[in-house]
Amino acid sequence: MGNAILVVAEHDNSQLKSATLNTLQAAVELKAQGAGAIELLIAGQGSNAVVEQAAALPDVDRVLVADADNLAHQLPEEVSTVVINLLESGDYGYLLAPATTNGKNLAPRVAALMDVAQVSDITEVVSADTFIRPIYAGNALAKVQSHDALKVITVRTTAFAAVAETGGAAEATTLDAPAALGISSFVGEELSVSERPELTSARIIISGGRGMQSGDNFPLLEAVADKVGAAVGASRAAVDSGFVSNDMQVGQTGKIVAPDLYIAVGISGAIQHLAGMKDSKVIVAINNDEEAPIFNVADFGLVADLFEVLPELEKALA
Amino acid sequence: MKVLVAIKRVVDANVKVRVKADNSAVELANIKMAINPFCEIAIEEAIRLKEKGHASEVLVVSIGPDACQEQLRTALALGADRALQIKTEDSPEPLAVAKLLKAVVDQEQPGLVILGKQSIDGDNNQTGQMLAALAGMAQGTFASDVEIDGDTLQVTREIDGGLQKVSLKMPAVVTTDLRLNEPRYASLPNIMKAKRKPLETHTPEDLGIDISPRQTLLEVTTPPERAAGVKVSSVSELVEKLKNEAGVL
């Protein structure tokens, strides 16, 4: 059994996503603990630009490319066949994927097909076989030792710094694309289009909760966001009430974020929301209820009516 | 078509858990337990499929000590037809759970299996995907809408960038996200009726499944607490502090 690390890249066929860079940092730490070469798999279709970006990553020893029609949308049924073909060589001791919706969809399927357990959402590499991962919405941290020869791991991207993007010249190897499984097919997608940074990699995030009262009031948040180049997020309450779309949800089961500055507006601070943002460097809470639990984790709290505060904040940041 | 729903007994979502003094685990004695919220959504979806005439029978299964019969009875009160407990001493790892569920799938031959996308205790988000792999089925994870169209299943999935729609050949596995539906409450007459619905018990041994763990939980610790900060009295004070004290603007 080899000890190389296979990392599944997060990409959209045209761009390598930053989640890949954070996942590679976990791979670098495993290599420092004695693991072998770091190989980055790009499974997709027409992803030449991604392959170029991947080859330039100094920490990647080899880029593996699987390019086929049935991989265009990276459906887990199809991608897992590619990954299994690689893992069955016995060359790998690790499979890493970011804990994104793609990674979370794929990794357990691969683990089960290889008859190994998975360690989900790690926040720390303790040693070659031991990891820290949050449980109970981050209210406890579990130190878990894996006994499988092949360790399948998903990586919480906010817990690992991004690796360098340039300076490398890794060799890219094209894999034979396996036959399509054909039990699933892509129908379509509705992706949110925004000029603002992505939630999971933004330096500043401003999020709205139930206190926003309606989706029509979110432009108040967006105006502030645009003054400081922030991403806009939301609590589960705001998404469930239909104010904004699901991809904006920050929390235990939504997106986990850890920006330099997180501004929670009209968010009470349920434990499920705190689980998604309490690792932010600086937290600001703006809420008219001074008893709101969000104030217990906020570095700066402002008890005030958000409808007065937001326009004032926008002006103050001009 | 038979629909199989797998549910888990977990700490109630409103409870903030505490780590035991010896750092061996989370304190679960005398704590309110409930059906995992995502599993409640799974039960609701199965019942709605039955009400729409797509499902002929809803079978609910849970894995754990006898205490999980309480959650199975709740599922029966909500509208499931039949319950199955797979008796284990504690909570097996997701891979073992998936293997046990695969054995149930082999016996019961459901057209659709619905599970929660994750349990709010372990936060693993693995079991549905693992079951799909072992059963050779397609998987519609993090579902916010499910439609049956002949022998295919149209699933709308909540993904990082928005929504994705996939078409899956049935039998298939679906895992639920928050927006799939809003679960109902059980009525008193249905709670009484549920007591007479069939609840069978199996063991991993009679299903021929090895559930020995692949991981060791070495330690459970409390994460560093954030100290509450200061209250500011105005927007200008806030901006001043963010710029000069915190240096984040």
Q: Digits of tens for pLDDT over chain B (249 positions)?
A: 999 999 999 999 999 999 999 999 999 999 999 999 999 999 999 999 999 999 999 999 999 999 999 999 999 999 999 999 999 998 999 999 999 999 999 999 999 999 999 999 999 999 999 999 999 999 999 999 999 999 999 999 999 999 999 999 999 999 999 999 999 999 999 999 999 999 999 999 999 999 999 999 999 999 998 888 999 999 999 999 999 999 999
User: What is the DSSP secondary-structure string of A105-116?
Assistant: HHHHHHHHHTT-
pLDDT above 80: residue A318: no
pLDDT band at A1 (very low <50, low <70, confident <90, very high): low
- ipTM surpasses cut 0.90: yes
Tell if the CB–CB gap between A118 and B126 is shorter than 8 Å.
yes
Tell if the CB–CB gap between A140 and B221 is shorter than 8 Å.
yes
Q: Which residue intervals of chain B are DSSP H helices? A: 37-51, 69-78, 94-108, 127-135, 188-194, 204-207, 235-240
Tell if the CB–CB gap between B162 and A246 is shorter than 8 Å.
yes
What's the confidence (pLDDT) of residue A221?
A: 97
Evaluated on CA atoms A159, A165, A171, A176, the torsion sign reads positive
Q: Is the separation of the CB atoms in A264 and A299 below 8 Å?
A: no
d(CA A289, CA A305): 9
Indicate the residue of B137, B222, B236 with minimum beta-carbon distance to A140.
Answer: B222
Where does residue A229 rank: exposed (0-12), middle (13-18), buried (19+ CB within 10 A)? exposed
- What does the mean pLDDT of chain A come to? 97
d(CA A273, CA A269): 6
**Of B21, B61, B67, B24, whose CA–CA distance to B43 is shortest?**
B61
**Of A38, A70, A40, whose CA–CA distance to A52 is shortest?**
A40
Evaluated on CA atoms A261, A240, B146, B11, the torsion sign reads positive
CA angle B8/B2/B97 to nearest 5° reads: 30
**Of B119, B97, B120, B102, whose CA–CA distance to B15 is shortest?**
B120
Q: Which residue of B has its CA nearest to A78?
A: B138
Neighbours of B14 (CB within 10 A): 10
CA torsion A64-A13-A30-A136 (nearest 10°) is -140
d(CA A42, CA A176): 13
Provide mean pLDDT across the span A248-265: 96
d(CA A92, CA A83): 11
Give residues 108 to 167 of B whose Cβ lies within 8 Å of A: 117-118, 120-134, 136-139, 141-142, 144, 154, 157-167
A21, A237, A264, A313 from A206: Cα distances, Å:
24, 15, 6, 12
What's the confidence (pLDDT) of residue A177?
A: 84
DSSP state of A157: G
Instruction: Please write the tens of the pLDDT for every residue from A108-161.
Output: 999 999 999 999 999 999 999 999 999 999 999 999 999 999 999 999 999 999
Instruction: Please write the tens of the pLDDT for every residue from A274-289.
Output: 999 999 999 999 999 9
Q: Give the rounded distance of the alpha carbon of A89 from its chain centre.
A: 28
Tell if the CB–CB gap between A148 and B17 is shorter than 8 Å.
no
A281 contacts on B by Cβ (under 8 Å): 248
A223 contacts on B by Cβ (under 8 Å): none
Instruction: At A280, list the tokens.
Output: 């932010």
The beta strand positions in chain A, using DSSP E, are 4-8, 38-44, 62-67, 92-98, 118-122, 124-127, 130-135, 140-146, 151-155, 171-174, 184-191, 204-208, 231-234, 261-265, 282-287, 300-303
pLDDT above 80: residue A164: yes
Q: Strand, helix or coil at B73?
A: helix
Task: Tell me the β-bridge partners of B218.
Answer: none
CA angle B65/B71/B76 to nearest 5° reads: 125
B154 contacts on A by Cβ (under 8 Å): 187
DSSP state of A40: E
Indicate the residue of B98, B144, B246 with minimum beta-carbon distance to A112.
Answer: B98
